[in-house]
Amino acid sequence: MRRVYEYFSTYKTEDSVEKHDRLTEIDLEFIDSLELIDLHYDGEKYTWKDEKDNTELTIIVCTEDEINKIKEIDFRLHYDVEGYSKVTDVTNDVLMGVYDCDRYGFAREIVMAMLYDWRRTYLEDDDLLDKINKYGADSLTQQEKDFLETGVLNNPFHYESVDDVE
């Protein structure tokens, strides 16, 4: 099963670029093949660009073997560089529909679309029953109620009005 991970890093971009020769062509092809969204945080908001040695947050959809390879590549690239990285499995939060996409501001819709595609593949009735057990029946969204009725996970954007997005 492909899972959803957050990869958080404080390494400076210039340090990573300087150590780039530690990566093989196979490493680079592997990285290019990943389904991910790469964002930077400047202390106030998420951006596309690393303008002030921002911290980096990458949302990655991959298998457990692939995330282990990412960790191995990360170690090889950064073992003697100041900073750190952390990988968090957020799969259950995404399955239960409690993952907070709003924190990404301008990139909210892009993140939502990526996670919807993943969730549409892996969501099962039992996941929503677990959500009810954990958070109560009132925690279900209309999208999730429709899924329990039809077995089809509709596009989350169909449930938003223009006022909801502002």
- Is residue 34 within 8 A of residue 11, CB to CB? The reply is no
Full pLDDT tens readout for the chain, 166 residues:
999 999 999 998 888 889 999 999 999 999 999 999 999 887 777 877 766 666 889 999 999 999 999 999 999 999 999 999 999 999 999 999 999 999 888 899 999 999 999 999 999 999 999 999 999 999 999 999 999 999 999 999 988 764 454 4
43, amino acid identity: G
Cα–Cα distance measured from residue 63 to residue 57, given in angstroms and rounded to the nearest whole number: 18
Number of domains in the chain: 2
Same domain, 99 and 25: no
Cα separation values, 21 from 15, 18, 28, 38, 74, Å: 12, 8, 10, 21, 13
Same domain, 100 and 134: yes
The pTM of this model reads 0.90
Same domain, 19 and 44: yes
Same domain, 99 and 83: no
Containing structural domain, residue 14: 3-89
User: Residues near 99 by Cβ (< 8 Å), separated by ≥ 6?
Assistant: 4, 90, 93, 115
